[in-house]
């Protein structure tokens, strides 16, 4: 009966794979089946999509509905497929012309009220779409600036499903108010040390990192820092409490050269998957600084976790500085796991769903009293 397809992107680490979202409506008992290796968070998509469509003033098809995500072999995780699934269903039900969405790549989570909510990893997803030859993407409005960093792709940022339906049907686009939590930082991420975070975040467009200008004396340590920055040498800082180890390590990132355009995209992609990009300023163009506590867990340092895996500290410090204060206090397993990124510039995390590779090329600074 009704069939429609559109595209979305599955993330494997910081690499995206374009996924075709197909919806098929057949006469029969009303049911909604989702196939194509979805994980738990994606299976919940069915309930979000149904509620969002109904609450956007559309009718839910009372038929046998099958939504397939292919290639089925790629593990899919997270809520970013919601928007693609909703549009494929609406097109199969002839509410949207199927041809208008066939070449679009859609990324976004749906709220039950039909709001389109931001997801992690929009930049790598849009990069993958561009590599695969797609020219138009639809993303949550709040991540439109991030998606626009990719050259050659036209980006449509939307606030609600209702807006998207109107745009696709050439109808008058309804005004929608901004989210109440717009711009509010994620409380879970407040403690993460990231580029210029907390220290010397400048007023100019580019982040300004602290440098050696406010370090008094310490000529040997300053020279060591400069040699480390110039030659890309790892550093070991030893000194009594209060000697300035933390202060010096924080300033190393400020001595490193600005990131090139390519490096900026790499670093921004990692931070996008980690969900720590500030809303108004998506491009990370300064070397990041990351200083995990010695009690941090293995996944938080190396990467991993359930669902859509998060990059660890070694990847958040990619192209920047990783400072391990009180280095001997870190567990032996964590220190051992540092060998791979130190040697190869990336880290491979094996999980039940497969193996993912994350960039992790950083300057290591060890601190010890
Ligand atoms: N050479 C210096 N010039 C200016 N300020 C300094 C210098 N050395 C230390 N300080 C100041 O002293 C304070 C303590 O420095 P810091 O926290 O870097 O020491 P630390 O060696 O990391 O100590 P701990 O072992 O307790 O972590 C900071 O506020 C820092 O700004
Ligand atoms: Mg310290």
Indicate if ligand 1 lies below 6 Å from the C-beta of 215. Answer: yes
Write out the CATH class of domain 187-368: alpha beta
Does the structure show a pLDDT above 50 at 191? no
Distance 252 CA to ligand 2 centre (A): 14
Instruction: Give the end-to-end CA distance of the chain in Å, rounded to a whole number.
Output: 72
Indicate if ligand 1 lies below 6 Å from the C-beta of 218. Answer: yes
Q: What is the pTM of this model?
A: 0.87
Distance 145 CA to ligand 1 centre (A): 38
Higher pLDDT, 44 or 269: 269
Closest CA to 360 of 269, 230, 278, 225: 269
Annotated domain spans of the chain: 2-168, 187-368
The DSSP element (H or E) to which 301 belongs, if any, is helix 298-302
Q: DSSP class of residue 76?
A: B
Instruction: Give the tens place of pLDDT for each residue, 243-285.
Output: 999 999 999 999 999 999 999 999 999 999 999 988 778 899 9
Query: Of all protein residues, whose CA lies closest to atom 6 belonging to ligand 1?
Result: 244
Distance 106 CA to ligand 1 centre (A): 48
Could you tell me the pLDDT band of residue 187, with boundaries at 50, 70 and 90?
very low
Return mean pLDDT, the chain: 88
Tell me the angle at which helices 245-255 and 219-231 cross, rounded to the nearest 10 degrees: 40
Indicate if ligand 1 lies below 6 Å from the C-beta of 213. Answer: no
- CATH topology for 2-168 is Ribosomal Protein S5; domain 2 (3.30.230)
∠ CA 152-158-163, rounded to 5°: 125
Q: Do domains 2-168 and 187-368 have the same CATH topology?
A: no
């Amino acid at each position: 009966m009704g069939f429609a397809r559109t595209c979305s992107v599955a993330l494997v680490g910081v690499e995206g794979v374009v996924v075709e979202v197909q919806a098929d409506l057949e006469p029969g008992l009303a049911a909604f089946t989702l196939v194509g290796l979805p994980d738990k968070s994606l299976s919940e998509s069915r309930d979000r999509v149904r509620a969002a469509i109904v609450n956007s003033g559309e009718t839910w098809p009372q038929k046998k509905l099958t939504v397939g995500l292919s290639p089925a072999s790629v593990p899919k995780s997270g809520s970013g497929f919601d928007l693609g699934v909703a549009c494929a269903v609406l097109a199969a039900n002839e509410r949207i012309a199927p041809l208008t969405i066939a070449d679009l790549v859609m990324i976004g989570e749906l709220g039950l009220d039909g709001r389109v909510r931001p997801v992690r990893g929009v930049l790598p997803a849009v990069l993958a779409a561009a590599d695969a030859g797609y020219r138009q993407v639809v993303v949550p409005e709040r991540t439109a600036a991030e998606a626009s960093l990719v050259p050659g792709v036209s980006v449509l940022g939307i606030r609600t499903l209702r807006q998207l339906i109107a745009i696709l049907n050439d109808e008058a686009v309804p005004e929608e108010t901004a989210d109440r939590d717009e711009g509010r930082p994620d409380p879970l991420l407040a403690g993460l040390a990231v580029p210029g975070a907390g220290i010397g975040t400048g007023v100019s467009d580019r982040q300004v990192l602290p440098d050696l200008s406010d370090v008094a004396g310490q000529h040997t340590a300053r020279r060591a820092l400069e040699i480390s920055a110039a030659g890309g040498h790892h550093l070991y800082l030893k000194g009594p409490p209060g000697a300035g180890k933390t202060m010096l390590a924080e300033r190393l990132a400020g001595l490193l050269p600005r990131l090139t355009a390519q490096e900026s995209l790499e670093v921004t992609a990692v931070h996008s998957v980690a969900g720590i990009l500030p809303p108004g300023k998506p491009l990370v163009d300064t070397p990041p600084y990351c200083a995990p506590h010695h009690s941090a867990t293995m996944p938080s340092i190396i990467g991993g976790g359930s669902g859509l895996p998060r990059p660890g500290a070694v990847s958040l410090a990619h192209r920047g500085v990783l400072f391990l204060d009180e280095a001997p206090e870190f567990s032996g397993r964590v220190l051992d796991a540092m060998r791979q990124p130190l040697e190869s510039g990336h880290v491979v995390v094996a999980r039940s769903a497969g193996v993912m590779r994350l960039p992790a090329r950083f300057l290591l600074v060890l601190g010890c009293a």
